Structure 1
Amino acid sequence: MDWSLRFLGVGNASAVELGSPMSVIERDGRPWLTIDCGGEGLTAFKAHYGHMPQALFVTHVHLDHVAGFERLFVDTFFSAQRRGKVRLYVPATVVPLLHKRIGDYPNVLAEGGANFWDAFQLIVVGDAFWHEGVRLEVFPVRHHWPETAYGLRLQGALTWSGDTRPIPEMLARYASDNELIAHDCGLHGNPSHTGVDDLEREYSAELQARMMLYHYASVADGQALAARGHRVAQPGQCVVLAAPTAPHVLAQDPP
C-alpha cells in the first residue's frame, strides 16, 4: 500500500495564484483524507481527481481554509449517493466556529426544507479519530486564539502543522516518528504565522530537514525560502510518504 501527500494549494490568503492552503493524503493514488476546503483548493481537487472530496479534516475556519464549503454543500446535497455520507472531521472547539462561519444561514436553499448539515456526516473529534480503520491524532497550534486551530498527525507518515507560529513543544510529541512535516512558513513572520527566521531559530536542524514549507506569500518568496536551503512545496506537487505506523484495524465497509 502506497501513501502520498498532494499539495493542492500552498499560498497564504493573499497569494491566489498559489492556491489556498489545502492538501490530500492519498492511498494507492486515490484521495483518502483531504485537509481543509479552500476555494482555490477545491477547484484544484476537482480538476485533478474529477470529483469532489469524500472525507475532510478541518484545521480552522479562516475563509482561505473553508470557503469551498458552499460549493461542496451543493454538490453533496443534490447527490443521492453522497448526501449525508461526506465525512467532516472537525475538532470539538472548532465546530461552533464552523457553524457560525458556513452553516448558520437562513434557508440554505431558497425554497427551504434543508439544513446545511444534512449534506454531511459531521464527526466531532478530540485528541484523535479513526478514518477507514487508521488512527490520526489532533493537536492544538498557535494561530490567533487558543483552541481555534489544530494540526494533524498520521503517525510515521505525516505531521501537518496547519496555520501556526512555531510549535516545538508540539512537534517534540507529534513529529517524533520521522514524519514528513508540512509547516506553515513565510519569508516574514507575524503574530499568526511562522516566518523563516522563526523557523530556523525555534527548530533543530533535524526537524527542519524533514519539513516542507507552505503558506508563503508569492512565487518570489518561495524561491527565497528555497535559496536558504529549505524544501518548499509547490501547487500540485505530490510527495511520497512513509508507511504509517499509526494504530490501525481492518477497515469496515462504509455505510
Structure 2
Amino acid sequence: MAAWALQLHGVGNASAVELGSAMASIERDGRPWLTIDCGAEGLTAFEALYGRPPDAVFITHVHLDHVAGLERLFVSSYFDPQRRGRIRLYVPAPVVPLLQRRVGDYPNVLAEGGANFWDAFQLVPVSDAFWHDGLRLEVFPVRHHWPDTAFGLRLRGSVVWSGDTRPIPEMLARHADAGELIAHDCALHGNPSHTGLDDLEREYSDALRKRMLLYHYAGHADAATMVARGYRVARPGESWPLAEHTAMLALP
C-alpha cells in the first residue's frame, strides 16, 4: 500500500512572503505526485525540497501568488529536451482563457522567437473531474472573487484542497464526505474573497472543522491565535500524512 502525504511548500496569503505562496504537493511514497498551484516562493520551496521542478500541476485560479512560478517553469522546461512539453498542467476549463491572458499572452515569449508559452507544457483543460496517473480526481467551483474563476480539488478519501475561497458548506457536503483532510483557506478575519475564523464557526459543523488544516493566513501572529482557538494550522515545509485514497481507478 502506498504512503500518501500532503507536503506544504507555502501557506501564506499574497502579502505574507515569509510564509511562501500557498502551494502544496500530494506525495506518494515520498515523491511529488500532483502539485497544487505554482507561485514564485512555492516553486522555490518545491525545487529546494525535491531538487527538480514539478511534473504535474493543478491550477486553482490565476492570482499571481498562485501562478507566478509558471514563467520560471516555462524556462526550465523549454530548454530541457527531456522535459519540454511533458509537464502536465491540469486547468479548469473556465480558467484556461484567464491563464492565457495572465501568463501565456506575452507577444514573444523568447527574444529569438520561435516559441509559444504552451510549448513547454502539456495543457489539460478539465471539468468536474480528471484522470492523473490512473486515479480520478474531482474538481469543484469555490467562492473567490467571481463565479467560475477559482476551483478546489479532491482526492477522494485522502484530501480536499479548498483553494482561495469564502465558506463553501454546500461543496464540502458533497466533496468532503469521505473523511478527508480538508486544507481550507482561512485568515483571522474574513473579507469578501477569503474565509475568516468567524466564517468557519458560523458556516461549518464542529465535526467538519476538526478535519480542517488552515492555510492562506497573514502571518505568524495570526497562526498563533488560530492555534489558541483550537485549530490546526499549516506551516511551510510541513508534511501531513493522508489516509489511503478511495478514488476511482482506471480500468487495467
**What TM-score do you get using the length of structure 2 for normalisation?**
0.99
Deviations 1:83-136 (A, max 9, x none): 010000000000000000000001100010000000000000000000000000
Deviations 1:140-168 (A, max 9, x none): 00000000000000000001000000000
Could you tell me how far apart the structure 1 residues matched to 2:119 and 2:55 are? 15
Instruction: Give the structure 1 partner of residue 224 of structure 2.
Output: 223
**How far apart are residue 248 of structure 1 and its match?**
1.1
Could you tell me how far apart the structure 2 residues matched to 1:176 and 1:122 are? 30
SS in 1 for 2:177: coil
SS in 1 for 2:73: helix
Could you tell me how far apart the structure 2 residues matched to 1:166 and 1:172 are? 12
SS in 1 for 2:173: helix
Aligned partner of 2:236: which letter? P
**How far apart are residue 230 of structure 1 and its match?**
0.2
Could you tell me how far apart the structure 2 residues matched to 1:179 and 1:247 are? 15
Could you tell me how far apart the structure 1 residues matched to 2:176 and 2:60 are? 17
**1:35-184 to 2 correspondence within 5 Å?**
35-184=36-185
SS in 2 for 1:70: helix
Could you tell me how far apart the structure 1 residues matched to 2:95 and 2:189 are? 27
Aligned partner of 2:172: which letter? L
Could you tell me how far apart the structure 1 residues matched to 2:48 and 2:176 are? 31
Could you tell me how far apart the structure 2 residues matched to 1:183 and 1:47 are? 25
Aligned partner of 2:3: which letter? D
Q: Does 1:186 align with 2:170?
A: no
- Structure 2: tracts of 5 or more residues without a match: none
Could you tell me how far apart the structure 2 residues matched to 1:32 and 1:159 are? 15
**What TM-score do you get using the length of structure 1 for normalisation?**
0.98
SS in 2 for 1:94: helix
Could you tell me how far apart the structure 2 residues matched to 1:250 and 1:53 are? 26
Could you tell me how far apart the structure 2 residues matched to 1:69 and 1:87 are? 12
Could you tell me how far apart the structure 2 residues matched to 1:199 and 1:10 are? 18
Could you tell me how far apart the structure 2 residues matched to 1:165 and 1:38 are? 21
Aligned partner of 2:245: which letter? P
Could you tell me how far apart the structure 2 residues matched to 1:192 and 1:162 are? 11
Could you tell me how far apart the structure 2 residues matched to 1:89 and 1:133 are? 14
Could you tell me how far apart the structure 1 residues matched to 2:52 and 2:31 are? 11
Could you tell me how far apart the structure 2 residues matched to 1:220 and 1:18 are? 12
SS in 2 for 1:246: coil
**1:19-30 to 2 correspondence within 5 Å?**
19-30=20-31
Deviations 1:63-97 (A, max 9, x none): 00000011000000001000010000000000000
SS in 1 for 2:85: coil
Aligned partner of 1:70: which letter? E
SS in 2 for 1:90: strand
Deviations 1:45-65 (A, max 9, x none): 000000000000000000000
Could you tell me how far apart the structure 2 residues matched to 1:15 and 1:217 are? 5
Could you tell me how far apart the structure 2 residues matched to 1:131 and 1:70 are? 23
Identity, % of aligned pairs?
A: 72
Could you tell me how far apart the structure 2 residues matched to 1:72 and 1:64 are? 14
1:122 and 1:205, CA in 2 relative to 1: closer, same or farther beyond 3 A? Answer: same
Aligned partner of 1:45: which letter? F
Please tell me the root mean square deviation across aligned C-alpha atoms, in Å.
0.7
